[in-house]
Amino acid sequence: MTSLMKTTFGEYIRLLRTEKELTLTQLAAKLNLDSANLSKIENGIRDFDEKRLPKLARIFGLNLKELREEYLTDQLGKKIYETNCTKQLLKVAEEKAEYRRTINKNLQTEKAI
């Protein structure tokens, strides 16, 4: 799997499906979805359910951690697009994320003591 795909997650699912020569109906059945919903996911009308990532990884023999990262980058990208975030806003968000990592690290250290 290529890291940090440039397609949407739905387009990526379609690519995987067509490479494995699965029909929309076949893959939908494997994911316990109806084909109409899978079509909406592939076309960007609907979001893929994160709870189905392990099943998707198994179907296509993908690394779950990498697949989850691809899913998350798509979700973040979608939110950035929908809210028209500026680079400055993204910089502040990254600083807040780093602050949360620091707090979490400190909490873990305190628990270990």
What is the pTM assigned to this prediction? 0.79
Given a cut of 50, is residue 2 above it in pLDDT? no
Domain-embedded: residue 14? yes
**Residues 24, 39 contacting (CB under 8 angstroms):** yes
The CATH number assigned to the domain holding 67 equals 1.10.260.40
Indicate the SS3 state at residue 24: helix
Q: What is the pLDDT of residues 10-20, one digit of tens each?
A: 999 999 999 99
Query: pLDDT tens digits, residue range 32-67?
Result: 999 999 999 999 999 999 999 999 999 999 999 999
DSSP label of 19? H
Q: How many domains does the chain have?
A: 1
State residue 1's pLDDT score: 42
Asked if the structure places residue 107 within a domain, the reply is: no
Does residue 40 lie in a domain region?
yes
